[in-house]
Each structure stands twice: as structure tokens, then as C-alpha cells.
Amino acid sequence: MGFVDRVNRAFFRRLRAQSPRYAVETDAVRVTHPDGRDYRLLFADLTTATLHHRDVYAYDAIILALGFTNGETIEFAQDDPDWEPLVHALDRSGRIGEPSNIWQLQAIGDGDGAPVRHLPIT
């Protein structure tokens, strides 16, 4: 592992320690804040789903931003441990009008500099 990779991992470990924790459930994402607040964001309350690339030091991350009726937006990166459970739960919920295998492959194929993609909500 190179120096830049070690710095990147350390930076994100520290950032995540101060950020809310997310746990994907069958019909929601459970949000737990460092101060102990805990609540669920239901997929039924999903209003937006946006897919985009973000430069993260030496690589591009694919980011899925989910917006909910309460005005909160949460983000998941493709390398997050909850990515696979999230996309499977979203597919089961039927809230995004396109299967995840299609929009994930398009995002990977678009590569660096890809436009922001708004996924259809049903």
C-alpha cells in the first residue's frame, strides 16, 4: 500500500468516526449519530437518488446520494461496506425505477468526469 493510500484511509477513518453511522435494513436506513440520536429513514420516504463521481485523492469514488421527505440527504460510496446491502434493499423496495445492475454499470463505464445522474423514483 502506497503512502497516498495510507493517508487516504487514515483520513476517512477519522472522518467516519465523527460522522453518523448507517445500517441498511430491509425497508430503511438506520442512522446513528455520535451523540446517540438514532432514527430510521424509510425507503418509502425516498424523494431523490443521485449518482455521481467524486475525486478522492488518487481515485474516483462513485457516490449514491439519497434524499428523503424530511429534507435529509445521506451518501454512500461504492467502496462502503453497506453498498451491496443498500443497492439490494433499494432493488427490493422498487423505489428506484431502474435495476441497480444497470445504473452501477453505467456509472463505472462513464468513468471520470461523468455527469451527475438522477435516478428515477417510483
pLDDT tens sequence across 21-36: 999 999 999 999 988 9
Nearest of 49, 89, 87 to residue 65 by alpha carbon: 49
pLDDT tens sequence across 31-81: 999 889 999 999 999 999 999 888 776 677 899 999 999 999 999 999 899
- Which strands, in side-by-side order, build the sheet including 21-24? 21-24, 28-32, 38-42
> CA 64, CA 49: separation in Å to the nearest integer?
7
> CA 120, CA 26: separation in Å to the nearest integer?
20
- Structural domains for the chain: 3-118 (2.30.29)
Angle between helical axes of 100-110 and 83-93 (0-180°, round to 10): 130
